[in-house]
Amino acid sequence: MTPEVYIDFINKFDVDKVALTNDEILNAIEDSLKMQGRGETEIEPRTHIRPRAGVEGHFNVLRGWIGGEIDSAGTKVVGDFVNNYLEDRPSEYGVLTLFDPRNGAPKAIVDATGITDMRTGAVTAIGAKYLSNKKPKILAHIGARGTAYWNVRLLCHLFDFEEVRIHSKRVESREKFADKLTEDLKRPIKVTDDWESCILDADIVVEASRLSKPEPLLKTEWIKKGALVIPYGTMSALEFSLPDIMDKFVMDDWGQAHGIFGALREHIDKGKITFETLHAELGEIVCGLKKGREANDETILFWHRGLSLSDIALGHKILSKAILKANVALFIFSKQSLTSVG
């Protein structure tokens, strides 16, 4: 008899109810990076689907497998539609599917819109944990939509910044973003009117802009010696000269370096950045195989494109916690029912 296959479906409301803590998110992603560094994972380069719908947008398809306690294969399809804000929608909608790697049976379908934001913020923060100075004073964040919130939230969870600055193109967007951060993080947020005043003298610079086409808005001369720069916008906002001032270049996965989009697309395509100039993948640093920051005056460039492994790890954590909560609720309900009968 063929075994029955039961597929768990976790929607956005379930994800919200699970309410992962900052530390749960960071630990899940850091553990997955360690496993990647130790070679206990498989990951394929992302692919893209560009529908002919007359809009600015595309779909990313990410695939991978994690061993160990997670022991799951997964595929995430996530849309990236830069003008969704005009309809008050998130820029990215995603769905994650988890599979049993031993027989291919589907295990779960998870709304990955929130997962995408959380895991991106976690990789940004963990990158800073290993690559920034130990006590960074100023955080500069460019961009106010989608993943931006979790970048700032998790960075502020790890570091006690003296100043947090944000900037985005639209005034209403950056003001709304600042208000939410101020309310949730219980700290002042400085809103700047331009890129330069946001970035100058910052110890950590995160570039998460939502450009419709490449435009070199982040000037190399604004980056101070010893800073950590983390760009990951779909379209590049960087000058071609940026790698020239860097002492180290780190990626989440070199296999994701090539493709159509990305903050360092031109730098890769024209040979400015090559595998030979890569210091390490982040997982190699996290698991101890290679060094991260070794001196306060090192200027470091960290480019993360987003890994299926992060989605699988966080999806697994959400699924496990949701099942645990459901079992506890069922136990309490059963106990109450027995008590009322008795």
Taken in order of first residue, the domains within the chain and their CATH numbers are 120-245+291-303 (3.40.50.720)
Give the three-class secondary structure for 205: strand
pLDDT in tens, 163-179: 999 999 889 989 999 99
pLDDT, mean of residues 26-51: 92
Give the number of other CB atoms < 10 A from CB of residue 102: 8
Identify the band that residue 330 occupies on the pLDDT scale cut at 50, 70 and 90. Answer: very low
Identify the band that residue 331 occupies on the pLDDT scale cut at 50, 70 and 90. Answer: very low
Task: Report pLDDT for 341.
Answer: 46
Q: How many whole angstroms from its chain centre is CA 244?
A: 26
Task: Report pLDDT for 211.
Answer: 76
Query: Beta partners for 229?
Result: 205, 301
Q: Which amino acid appears at position 78 of this protein?
A: V
| Exposure of 206 in the CB half-sphere (CA atoms within 13 A) | 35
Identify the band that residue 253 occupies on the pLDDT scale cut at 50, 70 and 90. Answer: confident
Alpha-carbon gap, residue 233 to 218, rounded angstroms? 12
pLDDT, mean of residues 263-275: 87
Task: Report pLDDT for 327.
Answer: 60
Instruction: List strands edge to edge, sheet with 190-191.
Output: 190-191, 163-167, 138-142, 204-207, 228-231, 300-303, 248-251, 280-281
Task: Report pLDDT for 332.
Answer: 47
Contact 107, 8 (CB under 8 A): yes
Contacts of 10 (CB under 8 A, 6+ apart): 108, 109, 110, 111, 315, 318, 319, 322
| Exposure of 330 in the CB half-sphere (CA atoms within 13 A) | 6
More confident residue, 331 or 127: 127
Q: Which residue has the tokens 């990955």?
A: 112
Total length of the chain: 342
Alpha-carbon gap, residue 249 to 281, rounded angstroms? 9
Contact 310, 114 (CB under 8 A): no
Contact 138, 38 (CB under 8 A): no
> Is 335 a residue whose pLDDT tops 70?
no
pLDDT, mean of residues 148-161: 97
Q: Is 8 exposed, middle or buried (0-12, 13-18, 19+ CB in 10 A)?
A: middle
Q: Which residue has the tokens 């730098």?
A: 267
pLDDT in tens, 282-313: 999 999 999 999 999 999 999 998 889 999 99
Contact 110, 318 (CB under 8 A): yes
Alpha-carbon gap, residue 230 to 206, rounded angstroms? 5
> Is 245 a residue whose pLDDT tops 60?
yes
